[in-house]
Amino acid sequence: MEDYEPAESDSSRIGLTLETYILEGMLGRREARGYFTSLLNQLALAAKMITSRVRRAGLVNVLGTTGDTNATGDVVQKLDQEAHETLLRVLGRRNHCAAAASEEEEDIRVLSTAQSAQYLVVFDPLDGSSNIDVNISIGTIFGVYRKDHDGPATQADFLKPGRELQAAGYVIYGSSTQFVITTGGSVHGFTYDPSVGEFLLSHENIRVPVHHATYSINEGNAGRWAPGVKRWNEWVKEENPTQGRPYSSRYVGTLVADAHRTLLRGGLFAYPADAKNPEGKLRLLYEANPFAFIFEAAGGVATTGQARILDLQPTTLHQKVPLILGSKRNVAEFLRFTDEP
């Protein structure tokens, strides 16, 4: 989807609305019918609706759990459930989204069988659930695929490698709300201005720095890591000023927040396999693939430690995968240790 990029790119574009950016992308493609544009706009609308709820959490009755567990056994928070329902409701309008797969639902949800419904959306409606009730950054992650046949969408349609994504992005509900998106070319960030009610271009053409002396991993799992991960972890903490070590540790426990910082500042984020989570903890469809697509588009790397994330052939909707994301040099350092016999 490289050709989805608007034609020109200069600093005068700062302040452009997300809607105009999306529309310009469509206008740049002669064959575009507006379906993809409409779908991206619906995602932006859902983001606005979710941010308005997140910003009032604590005032309205949305904190706490629903009492249920989701497809992977996690406790469902009320805000998780609201975000999930908002996305399904909004994507269900306009007949451009054939079906959606959500981290919060066992099976796919068919949303339209209209001829115009040519896209499939995967999402983690509210990432960082354990941080919701303590007012720490949370987010929404999404990916868009094309449905490549005329019949109704099936679960098998979602089992595509991440390299087939048509767009991926996330929304971070942090000190401000930002919407970061790529269609495979440049990665752009838009900051929500609540007084205008729009996402405005604030981070144009994000590139992951080649290296940064920061690492992000749940060190509480250290006793369960493979020997290579342990050796890397000792190395990043060694006193070696000429080589810029020790590195700083930063871990929020919300993938969206840890990955967002890594995208802007550089460094490494890792949720590797461990003795308790032999497949890792993060989900391939809803978390790893969208972030891998974004990181590669921004000049970074995304790997399981053995394979490129975007080349993995999913076998089930909710499968988990080890995830290492970050700057080229930081990831190469990590792999130097984990590749050792």
Which residues contact ligand AHM by CB under 6 A? 74, 103, 124, 127-130, 218, 253-255, 258, 271, 281
Q: Nearer to Mg ion by C-beta: 287 or 296? A: 287
Q: Nearer to ligand AHM by C-beta: 235 or 251? A: 251
- Rounded to 10°, the helix 35-55/18-27 angle is 170
CB of 200 to ligand AHM, least distance (A): 26
124 lies in the site for Mg ion, by CB under 5 A: yes
Please give the Cα distance from 37 to 205 (Å, whole number): 20
Pick the catalytic residue from 198, 258, 274, 287. Answer: 287
Distance spanning both ends of the chain, measured CA to CA: 39
Structural element, H or E, at residue 302: strand 301-303
Please give the Cα distance from 264 to 226 (Å, whole number): 29
Q: Nearer to ligand AHM by C-beta: 28 or 253? A: 253
Partner that binds at residue 5, options ligand AHM, Mg ion, none, CB closer than 5 to 8 Å by kind: none
Q: Nearer to ligand AHM by C-beta: 86 or 129? A: 129
User: Is 124 labeled as catalytic in the residue annotation?
Assistant: yes
Please give the Cα distance from 122 to 143 (Å, whole number): 5
C-alpha torsion angle, residues 192, 194, 195, 198 (rounded to 10): 40
Partner that binds at residue 259, options ligand AHM, Mg ion, none, CB closer than 5 to 8 Å by kind: none
104 lies in the site for Mg ion, by CB under 5 A: no
Residue ranges with strand state E in 138-285: 138-146, 167-173, 177-182, 187-193, 198-203, 214-216, 248-249, 268-271, 282-283
Please give the Cα distance from 37 to 42 (Å, whole number): 9
3-class state of residue 186 by DSSP = coil
CB of 274 to Mg ion, least distance (A): 18
CB of 134 to ligand AHM, least distance (A): 13
Partner that binds at residue 192, options ligand AHM, Mg ion, none, CB closer than 5 to 8 Å by kind: none
Q: Active-site residue numbers?
A: 74, 80, 103-104, 124, 126-127, 287
Residues that bind Mg ion (CB under 5 A): 124, 127
